[in-house]
């Protein structure tokens, strides 16, 4: 199972359980919270009525007063109040008053006048100076039919002379409880969903960052040139920097070792030729033969110099992770400049050159590397084109890239050699001399093309060989 999915599942389990626990706890607390708030209001109402009823109860005029009429009128009121999403169309308080023995004197419902309520907890506890409250079901099997009763003492000079009780049915509170629970459910579900979304995005970002780091490590192991991923976040950014540093250190060490071996191997042949010629020159020999050996020393020295220079250029390119500049380079002007530099060689071989490049075409990249690349291609083409042969430069635009084609009239290349032409130190014998080059030219061109995000291909075509170089096109 991918790490991102595992992280998300753990996060999902944690957020889900925590959200369910918190939401369940809060939902369970809504009902008692509403009941306690309502009970407080009943306490205040009962104590207010106790003060209002005291004088009439003390004087014995309570039953002859208008309180019963007022209570009944109160019970018939229709408030027509809109409380949030709940419409209140009737009052739900019931009020009754008892004397010091618990006998009901007044009842807003008119049902219990004359009855003995002294055994009900609200009256019983209040007559004994305690807080009197009770909850009684109107229907024994229906928990929603319970009614809260809160009583307050009516006192005369500190002596309890009666009790006033106020009640409210729980069903009148249910709409507000359900509304709060419903809103809380939506709000809680939204928060849990948001938390899971954040967790999913975090898991996706983390797994994506790890995939980029893994891809970078695999690319380094495969020898590909790729910059280290730019990651935000302390530890991941540090890990990317550490991988990049490790790559550069390992590549630098392996690069030096590889080039020491290859350079040693490639220098053996020209050095042996120079040493042999020098030893022969120490003895007596005809002038013509001496000149031949001197020429060998000069040609082998030039070969050494060329080998070292091309190795340095190739090393410079292979160690790069990107271009130092990206500028528009006019293609036709660059090719004309290279052809002018090789004019003597072209004229001596009586070669025909066709420059079909549009003057408007421009490459996007580093001018020095592009110049060296085209110079290598031209030099390679001149080596294989017979006297009086044809060189033709052409190009075509393909999307955001330009495909540069260099055709040279020559013998076809063997099929086994075509895929190896860009290998380091692989070279074919030159038709004119029979000698091989350093084998670094096309390898350099391939590295530069890769650095620019392009490709190099060599193929046999009717009449000769064609090199195709795909490079970014400047807009």
The model's confidence at residue 130, banded by pLDDT at 50, 70 and 90, is very high
Asked whether the beta carbons of 403 and 466 are under 8 A apart, the reply is no
Residue 320's pLDDT is 55
Residue 268's pLDDT is 59
Closest Cα to residue 16, out of 251, 195, 215, 234? 195
Hey, what are 214's tokens?
């893994």
Closest Cα to residue 230, out of 212, 247, 217, 218? 212
Domain ranges of the chain: 3-178, 225-321, 323-475
Q: In whole angstroms, give the CA distance from residue 57 to residue 105.
A: 10
Task: Give phi and psi for 217, each to the nearest 5.
Answer: -65, -40
pLDDT tens for 295-337 read 777 766 766 666 666 556 555 555 555 566 788 888 899 888 8
| CATH no. for 225-321 | 1.10.287.130
Is the pTM value of this prediction over 0.85?
no
Q: Where are the alpha helices (DSSP H) in 95-173?
A: 121-127
Q: In whole angstroms, give the CA distance from residue 156 to residue 124.
A: 18
Position with higher pLDDT, 261 vs 4:
4
pLDDT tens for 27-43 read 677 777 778 888 888 89
Residue 246's pLDDT is 65
Residue 93's pLDDT is 83
| Fold that domain 323-475 belongs to in CATH | Heat Shock Protein 90 (3.30.565)
- % of the chain residues with pLDDT over 90: 13
Asked whether the beta carbons of 334 and 443 are under 8 A apart, the reply is no
Handedness of CA 374, 447, 469, 351 (dihedral sign): positive
- % of the chain residues with pLDDT over 70: 76
Put the strands of the sheet holding 104-107 in their side by side order: 104-107, 94-99, 159-169, 146-156, 132-137
| CATH no. for 3-178 | 3.30.450.20
pLDDT tens for 215-261 read 777 776 666 666 666 666 566 666 676 666 666 655 555 444 555 55
């Amino acid at each position: 199972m991918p790490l991102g999915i595992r992280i998300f599942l753990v996060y999902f389990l944690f957020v889900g359980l925590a959200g369910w626990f918190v939401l369940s706890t809060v939902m369970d607390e809504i009902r008692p919270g509403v009941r306690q708030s309502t009970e407080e209001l009943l306490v205040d109402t009962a104590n207010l009525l106790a003060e209002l009823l005291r004088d009439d109860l003390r004087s014995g005029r309570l039953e002859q007063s208008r309180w019963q009429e007022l209570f009944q009128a109160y019970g018939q009121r229709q408030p027509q109040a809109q409380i949030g999403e709940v419409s209140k169309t009737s009052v739900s308080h019931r009020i009754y008053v008892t004397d010091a023995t618990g006998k009901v004197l007044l009842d807003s419902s008119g049902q219990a006048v004359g009855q003995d309520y002294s055994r009900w907890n609200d009256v019983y506890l209040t007559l004994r100076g305690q807080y009197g409250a009770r909850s009684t079901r109107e229907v024994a099997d229906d928990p929603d039919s319970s009614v809260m009763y809160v009583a307050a003492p009516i006192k005369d000079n500190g002596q309890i002379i009666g009790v006033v009780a106020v009640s409210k049915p729980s069903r009148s509170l249910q709409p507000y409880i359900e509304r709060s629970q419903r809103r809380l459910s939506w709000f809680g579900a939204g928060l849990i969903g948001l938390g899971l979304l954040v967790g999913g995005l975090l898991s996706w970002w983390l797994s994506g960052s790890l995939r980029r780091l893994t891809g970078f490590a695999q690319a380094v192991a495969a020898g590909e040139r790729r910059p280290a991923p730019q990651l935000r976040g302390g530890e991941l950014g540090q890990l990317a920097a550490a991988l990049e540093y490790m790559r550069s250190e390992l590549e630098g060490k392996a690069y030096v070792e590889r080039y020491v071996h290859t350079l040693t191997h490639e220098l053996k042949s020209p050095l042996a030729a120079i040493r042999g010629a020098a030893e022969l020159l120490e003895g007596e020999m005809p002038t013509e033969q001496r000149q031949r050996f001197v020429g060998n020393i000069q040609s082998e020295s030039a070969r050494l110099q060329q080998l070292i220079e091309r190795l340095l250029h190739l090393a410079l390119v292979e160690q790069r992770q990107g271009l130092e500049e990206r500028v528009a380079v006019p293609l036709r002007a660059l090719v004309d400049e290279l052809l002018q530099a090789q004019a003597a060689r072209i004229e001596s071989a009586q070669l025909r050159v066709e420059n079909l490049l549009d003057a408007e075409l421009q490459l996007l990249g580093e001018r020095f590397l592009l110049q060296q690349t085209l110079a290598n291609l031209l030099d390679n083409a001149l080596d294989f084109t017979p006297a009086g042969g044809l060189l033709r430069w052409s190009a075509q635009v393909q999307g955001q890239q330009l495909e540069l084609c260099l055709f040279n009239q020559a013998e076809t290349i063997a099929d086994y050699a075509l895929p190896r032409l860009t290998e380091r130190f692989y070279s074919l014998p030159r038709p004119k001399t029979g000698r091989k080059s350093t084998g670094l030219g096309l390898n350099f061109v391939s590295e530069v093309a890769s650095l620019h995000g392009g490709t190099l291909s060599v193929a046999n075509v009717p009449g000769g060989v064609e090199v195709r170089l795909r490079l970014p096109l400047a807009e």
